[in-house]
A and B are shown apart, each in its own frame.
Chain A
Amino acid sequence: MNLKPRDMETFTALIEEGVSRSAEALAKMSRTEWGVMSASTKEIPAVRLLSWFERSKIQHVAASFESDEDFPMEMILLFSEKGARSVTDAVTKPFSERLTRMNDLMRLTIGEVSNIVAHGVIGSLADKFDQTVILSVPQVRVGPKAEILAKSLERYDGRNDVILLSHVDMFSENLAAECSMVLVVNEAALVELFAAASV
């Protein structure tokens, strides 16, 4: 079942609105400007999504979130290891040694930062559909992009599920850090949401 072109336009506009909220949150936390380099939304079979990301072999620190059943989606935020380190330093700098000496600080900080950034986009969608979406706590993983995404896509049927992929790249010149945000929604579920909400 495909999304109507008008609904696809609405969905894309909501993602774009949410992305600017996410970039603002990231800027506030890291005390420096973040820009959105690119944002795109496309239909893609689950199996093709992974091959899309397989080119990148460098290590990433990623946080993934699941939503509840009423509004099923996956959100994954990925930072290169170097970028994750810069973001962690910027976010934790004003706090005491109790924080900065914490074990596994980078993973924990990226989990919390990603949680806040993810809500920019989720909030924009939830408000439009008049729903409350409560995300899971973050699952933080380290590895190449495709490996991380494969874990997050386990619940999809690679051959039969058509998913909508929103892919956003944000960048901070001052921190020399980038953040990729991947939102995966099962298209059939989204069609149902549009029909039920008649937005």
Chain B
Amino acid sequence: MGYRILIVDDSPVLRIMLSEMLQELGHEVVAEVDSGNAALEAYPKHKPDLVCLDVSLPDINGLEVLQRLRRSDPHAKVLIVTGNDQKTLESKALSLRAIGVLHKPFDASELGEMLQRAGIKKA
């Protein structure tokens, strides 16, 4: 069975692209939200298996969202999906136990490889 996934990204264009790629890989997108606060509200409501989380958000940044999610669910699986390829950002995300950092732009096969490396199998 595929994973139930929450997408957090301010860009509606990216949300649709990512959602279509995830569905192509056999996963289910349970919700798409555009801000950090909306993500923190959506997480307990949908209890997703995975969160695809952007870093630049209009209210609180993705690293802060990840930190807050960790407090409420220490086992939350979060994949950072960002155009930001800075070394320090990647190490901060991994130290907050993100399962990985996927750099935009990417295609469905790169997304699939990243999910597989993180132990998230195709449906």
A residues contacting B by CB (< 8 A) are: 21, 25, 28-29, 92, 95-96, 98-99, 102, 105, 108-109, 111-112, 115-116, 118-119, 122-123, 126-127, 130-137
User: Please, which residue of chain B has its CB at the minimum distance from the CB of A98?
Assistant: B16
Query: With A134-B61, A137-B58 as given contacts, are A126 and B86 in contact (CB-CB < 8 Å)?
Result: yes
Q: Is the CB of A95 within 8 A of B84?
A: no
Beyond A96-B16, A118-B83, 17 additional pairs, beta carbon < 8 A: A108-B11, A111-B11, A112-B14, A116-B83, A119-B84, A123-B84, A123-B85, A126-B88, A127-B86, A127-B87, A127-B88, A134-B89, A135-B84, A136-B56, A137-B10, A137-B57, A137-B58
Does B74 make an interface contact (CB < 8 A)? Answer: no
Q: Is the CB of A119 within 8 A of B88?
A: no
A99 contacts which chain B residues (CB < 8 A)?
13, 16-17, 20
Query: With A29-B105, A137-B56 as given contacts, are A123 and B86 in contact (CB-CB < 8 Å)?
Result: yes
Q: Is the CB of B11 within 8 A of A112?
A: yes
B14 contacts which chain A residues (CB < 8 A)?
112
Alpha-carbon gap, A118 to B104, bound state (A): 12
B residues contacting A by CB (< 8 A) are: 10-14, 16-17, 20, 55-58, 61, 63, 83-89, 92, 104-105
Q: Is the CB of B88 within 8 A of A134?
A: no
B13 contacts which chain A residues (CB < 8 A)?
92, 99, 102, 105, 108-109, 111-112
Contact among A28, A118, A126, A134 with B55 in the assembled complex (CB-CB below 8 Å): A134
Alpha-carbon gap, A119 to B55, bound state (A): 12
Q: Is the CB of B20 within 8 A of A115?
A: no
A25 contacts which chain B residues (CB < 8 A)?
83, 104-105
**Shortest Cβ distance from A54 into chain B, in angstroms?**
31
A95 contacts which chain B residues (CB < 8 A)?
16-17, 20
A133 contacts which chain B residues (CB < 8 A)?
84, 86
B17 contacts which chain A residues (CB < 8 A)?
95, 99
A122 contacts which chain B residues (CB < 8 A)?
84, 86
Alpha-carbon gap, A28 to B105, bound state (A): 7
A109 contacts which chain B residues (CB < 8 A)?
13
B16 contacts which chain A residues (CB < 8 A)?
95-96, 98-99, 102
Alpha-carbon gap, A111 to B92, bound state (A): 26
Alpha-carbon gap, A99 to B18, bound state (A): 11
Alpha-carbon gap, A128 to B104, bound state (A): 21
Q: Is the CB of B11 within 8 A of A115?
A: yes
Query: With A99-B13, A112-B14 as given contacts, are A135 and B56 in contact (CB-CB < 8 Å)?
Result: yes
| In the A-B complex, the 9 residue pairs with the closest CB atoms | A116-B83, A119-B83, A112-B11, A132-B88, A126-B86, A99-B16, A29-B105, A137-B10, A112-B13
Name 26 A/B residue pairs within 8 A (Cβ), A-sorted: A25-B83, A25-B105, A29-B105, A92-B13, A95-B20, A99-B16, A102-B12, A108-B12, A111-B11, A111-B13, A112-B13, A115-B104, A116-B83, A118-B83, A119-B83, A122-B84, A123-B85, A123-B86, A127-B86, A127-B87, A132-B86, A132-B92, A133-B86, A134-B63, A134-B84, A137-B58
